[in-house]
Amino acid sequence: MKAEVYNINGQATGRSIELPEAIFGIEPNEHVIYLAVKQYLAGRRSGTHKTLEKSELSGSTRKLHKQKGTGGSRKGSIKNPLFKGGARIFGPRPRSYDFKLNKKVKSLAKNSALSVKAAGSSIKIVEDFSFDAPKTKEYIKFLTAFGLENKKSLLVLPELNDNVYLSSRNVQGAAIAIAENLNTYEIMNNNTILISEKSIEAIANSQN
C-alpha cells in the first residue's frame, strides 16, 4: 500500500512510499491488541502495596483477660485483626503484575494497531528532519502544520534525535518513540502517528 510523503511544513511532496502490507494492511486482531495494552499497563504498576500483618504489627502480645469466666468473648493480644488498629488478615504484599506474552503475539498486536491507524487515515509519513537546536516553538510549529497542536500525537524516529526530543518534551500530548521500540500501547494511545521515512524500514526490520 502506498502513502503520501509530507514535509516538515505539512505539505505534500508529491512523492509516495510503499508501506509493507504485512505491517500496515493486515486484518486487525482486536484481542491481541487488548492483551498487549493490558501487559504494558500491568508492567507499569509499581506493586509496592503492603499492609501489616499480625506478626509485623507493634503492640503487646499480652492476653487481654482470662480465657473463661468473664461472660465475654475470648480475646488474645491487642493485635487481633478484629480490633480497631489491629492487623489485617491476608493483606496485600509487594508483587509484580507483569505477565508474559509471546513474541509473535506482541508482533501481531503491533501490526494490528498500525493497520487500525492506517485504515483510519491516522498515519502520516514525514520526510526525515532535524532541528539545529532544541526549540519548543519549532516543534509546536511542526505539529500545527499537521493540525495536531491540541491533539495527542506520536512521532516515530529511526533513532534518538536529541534536538527533536528536547523540543517536544514540554509539549502537552506530544510523544516520541524509536522505531525498534515502538509498542502497541503508544500506537493506540495517540490520535495521529507521524512516521519518518527511515522509520518504515526500521519498523520492518524489528519484526525479524
Specify whether 55 is located in the same domain as 125: no
User: How does pLDDT run across 6-36, given as a tens digit for each residue?
Assistant: 999 999 999 999 999 999 999 999 999 999 9
Specify whether 128 is located in the same domain as 36: yes
Specify whether 12 is located in the same domain as 112: yes
Specify whether 42 is located in the same domain as 142: yes
Specify whether 72 is located in the same domain as 172: no
Show the domain range for 174: 2-46+98-206
- Contact between 141 and 174 under an 8 Å Cβ cutoff? The reply is no
- Contact between 192 and 116 under an 8 Å Cβ cutoff? The reply is no
Specify whether 202 is located in the same domain as 103: yes
Task: Give the residue from 59, 91, 123 where a domain finishes.
Answer: 91
Q: In the numeric block, which cell numbers belong to residue 181?
A: 521500540
Specify whether 17 is located in the same domain as 61: no
Specify whether 197 is located in the same domain as 119: yes
Amino acid in the structure at residue 63: K
Specify whether 150 is located in the same domain as 197: yes
User: How does pLDDT run across 155-176, given as a tens digit for each residue?
Assistant: 999 999 999 999 999 999 999 9
Task: List residues bridging with 157 in a β-sheet.
Answer: 178
- Over residues 166-188, mean pLDDT: 95
For the entire predicted model, the pTM comes to: 0.84
In angstroms, rounded to a whole number, what is the distance separating the alpha carbons of residues 22 and 12?
A: 25
In angstroms, rounded to a whole number, what is the distance separating the alpha carbons of residues 191 and 122?
A: 7
Structural domain count, the chain: 2
Q: What mean pLDDT, rounded, does the chain reach?
A: 94
Q: What is the chain's alpha carbon radius of gyration, rounded to the nearest angstrom?
A: 27
Is residue 143 over pLDDT 80?
yes
Is residue 139 over pLDDT 90?
yes
Specify whether 25 is located in the same domain as 41: yes
Specify whether 67 is located in the same domain as 42: no
